[in-house]
Structure 1
Amino acid sequence: MNEIEYKQFYDKVGKMNGWDFSHVKCISEGLQWNFAKEVITRSKTSDLLLDIGTGGGESILPIADSVLLLTGIDRSEQMIRTAIENANRSGKSNVRFLQMDAEKLDFPREFFDMITCRHSNFSAKEAAKVLVKGGIFITQQVSEDDKLNLKEAFGRGQAWGTTAGKLREQYLTELKEAGFTDIQSFDFDVTEYYQTVEDLVFLLTHTPIIPSFGENEHDYRILYQFVLENQTNKGIKTNAARFVITARL
């Protein structure tokens, strides 16, 4: 997908669902890193927190009670609309959601105590601009070898053909150049078992893992063969590969 196609896709998914996959039945095995739990552990009730690429706010709303003010931004207007609806339903009064590009953060300098970013692009320089000295930055990103057997089956996919670790090295370099210190990173890769074909189809139609999935009838024939080859007694097997970076300014 190009930039315009990504925006159209995110707006479409934001209007339909946000990033809510809570009803998708999937069993995960292996070392896992709990994003919300780690952010809560590192935050204080006096903190101002900025979440970049917040989507529908699903992953960040549970953190709201642990900080003074939570501000989520996303470039997709529809995602922000969904996030506001989710916030209203949650009854949390210390949450704000704004449409904004991560490449141009329109906030006062040294305003936030913590910045988080989950599965979304960010600008290290912009983050450094609005983070207080000594502030914490935490990001979890999708690695290039995520859903590797699915991408191999389709012959295309998100970051398909890109060397594993390239994005992590890029972000590590950018954070260092922006003035961040105590930069730490690690990878984790868990095995996933989707319980039904419908669960897997929902994932593929609401994420850019396989771009334009389902627009060609041939995609479903490929998926059918993939399920036959990867069905186990635990479910349909694939993987979730991620990397995490934490840093201080």
Structure 2
Amino acid sequence: MTKSFYDKVARKFGGYSYGTNKPKYNTEFPDGIPEEDFKNHLLSLSGKDKIALDVGCGDCRFAFGISDNFKEIIGIDTSTELLKIAKSKQKKLKNTNVKILEMNADKLTFSNNYFDVAFSRRGPTPYKEVFRVLKPGGHFVIIEIGEKDTMGLKKVFGRGQGYGNWDNSVSEKEKNLAINAGFKTSFVKEYFYDEYYETYEDLDLFLQGVPIFPDFDPEKDKPLFEKYVDKFLTQKGINLPRHRVVFVLQK
């Protein structure tokens, strides 16, 4: 996703979390909670003597939340606006062990064998570069968006992130890229779950802040949006099926 999209989201919502006006929804997880599993895998590899790389750190909200488990976390991103927010949050939190840098993930400026752990939360996965900067035996922990994520929504709109790639397995593609870069696969799991948005306005707000449709326009897209709501409205709310993949790789 482009730098300009995340800069726009940062200016509009004051970060990558919608500020104080968050969309309301409930989630049903039949096979475990992917974000929790991702975090647990990462923390199992943490240590007060370890340095971690956050690839695509955004506003560093996640990094700040786990920083006590590491000696240092270095977060990199290309969104100038999100990094400004990250630095502002850091001052308020009085955090001292997260280093925030504007950097292209495909051109890391770190030396070889520098990091103990690297992680990416739905961000870039530059396998060759991460492999280079990890120490021997180091791990790369990833949570990625699956190919069937919000498939029904994208079909109604006729566009969207990964549109039409429903049969191209993200887990297989990413696993092959990682292996070709030199990694061994320690863990791979796919998660299918459902979100139920309370109102039309809640789902509309959600779509304004995520890159499912980078060009989403509440007014221009209103007819398509209403068509989706009519089709996926349930007693639990407006259903949005999701798909995630968690990987743990080792150098």
TM-score of the pair, normalised by structure 1: 0.91
Alignment partner of 2:89: what SS? helix
Match of 2:45 in 1: 42
One-letter amino acid of the counterpart of residue 177, structure 2: E
Match of 1:220 among 219, 222, 235: 222
Match of 2:165 in 1: 162
Match of 1:121 in 2: 124
Q: CA deviation at 1:154?
A: 0.8
Match of 1:15 in 2: 11
Q: d(CA) in 2 for partners of 1:19 and 1:109?
A: 31
- Aligned-residue sequence identity (percent) comes to 31
**Contact 2:151 2:166 (8 Å CA) reproduced:** no
One-letter amino acid of the counterpart of residue 27, structure 1: N
Q: CA deviation at 1:228?
A: 2.4
Q: CA deviation at 1:168?
A: 2.8
Match of 2:246 in 1: 244
One-letter amino acid of the counterpart of residue 245, structure 1: F
Q: d(CA) in 2 for partners of 1:170 and 1:228?
A: 34
**Contact 1:74 1:99 (8 Å CA) reproduced:** yes
**Contact 2:175 2:185 (8 Å CA) reproduced:** no
One-letter amino acid of the counterpart of residue 77, structure 1: T
Q: CA deviation at 1:222?
A: 1.6
Match of 1:28 in 2: 27
Give the 4+ runs in structure 1 shifted more than 6 A: none
Aligned positions, number: 244
Q: d(CA) in 2 for partners of 1:61 and 1:239?
A: 29
Match of 1:109 among 106, 112, 120: 112
Q: Which runs of 5+ in 2 are unaligned?
A: none
Q: Which runs of 5+ in 1 are unaligned?
A: none
Match of 2:155 in 1: 152
**Contact 2:11 2:81 (8 Å CA) reproduced:** yes
Q: CA deviation at 1:45?
A: 1.8
RCO greater where, 1 or 2, for CA within 8 Å and sep 6 or more?
A: 2
TM-score of the pair, normalised by structure 2: 0.90
Q: d(CA) in 2 for partners of 1:37 and 1:64?
A: 14
Q: d(CA) in 2 for partners of 1:60 and 1:165?
A: 31
Structure 2 matches for 1:75-86, cutoff 5 A? 75-86=78-89
